[in-house]
């Protein structure tokens, strides 16, 4: 299989439409813009205070006054704007973000997400995730299906929650799952895995869609 993170990012990119205002979490989600179609132009918003994130600058051309929410160098497109964090969170809390894409430590069948702390370990922390998963119109979790063989998709999250019942879609290297009232609905699968292998790698029951199809990337 191609690089797992880029495989996942390429599938997530198909969920986005031209003109969408999108917030990207740190890590894997930042790869999504690299896989957008030529006819899809996003307005990327960052909770540290700007809209219009551009491509990552080439080495040696970074401006450390322009960084994404993870503190990494970022570019800004013509027409982009900087503002204070209060304005940034007004955009988020006001429902103006069409989609947020973020990673997770754990997700469960009820759409609960835990992505900010592992007790006793150093991790990046909450950041703007608590506001984003509540304020964005669509919440997409992009992550590897397991962590060294340990389930990350569970019947019930075991780690402290970021928010309850907010996740709409989970995309991993194994498949695409929608959060429904009946549980997690497997709508797409990676043909490199069998449905049984996907079930075994998932810590809760999966509902298999009648229209199950191969992942399109």
Tokens of 13: 């990119």
Number of H helices, E strands in the chain: 4, 15
47 is annotated as an active-site residue: yes
List the catalytic residue out of 15, 47, 173, 188: 47
Q: Which residues on neighbouring strands pair with residue 46, listed in sequence order?
A: 50
Which helix (H) or strand (E) is 130 found in, with range?
helix 129-135
User: Which residues make Cβ contacts (< 8 Å) with residue 87, sequence separation at least 6?
Assistant: 49
CA–CA gap between residue 61 and residue 57 (Å, rounded): 6
Q: Find the helix or strand (DSSP H, E) in which 10 lies.
A: helix 4-13
For residue 62, what is the DSSP state?
Answer: -
Active site residues: 47
């Amino acid at each position: 299989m191609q690089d797992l993170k880029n495989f996942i990012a390429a599938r997530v990119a198909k969920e986005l439409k031209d003109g969408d205002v999108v917030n990207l979490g740190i890590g894997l989600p930042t790869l999504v813009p690299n896989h957008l179609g030529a006819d899809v132009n996003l307005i990327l918003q960052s909770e540290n205070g700007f809209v219009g994130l551009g491509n990552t600058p080439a080495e040696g051309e970074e401006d450390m006054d322009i960084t994404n929410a993870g503190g990494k160098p970022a570019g800004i497109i013509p027409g982009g704007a900087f503002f204070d964090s209060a304005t940034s969170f007004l955009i988020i809390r006001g429902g103006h973000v069409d989609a947020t894409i973020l990673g997770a430590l754990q997700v469960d069948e009820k759409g609960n997400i835990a992505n900010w702390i592992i007790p006793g370990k150093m991790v990046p922390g909450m950041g703007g995730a608590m506001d984003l998963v509540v304020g964005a119109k669509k919440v997409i979790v992009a992550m590897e299906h397991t962590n060294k063989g340990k389930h990350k998709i569970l019947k019930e999250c075991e780690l402290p929650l970021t928010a309850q019942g907010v996740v709409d879609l989970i995309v991993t290297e194994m498949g695409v799952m929608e959060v429904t009232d009946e549980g997690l609905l497997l709508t797409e699968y990676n043909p490199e895995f069998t449905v049984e292998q996907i079930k075994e790698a998932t810590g809760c029951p999966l509902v298999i869609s009648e229209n199950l199809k191969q992942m399109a990337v």
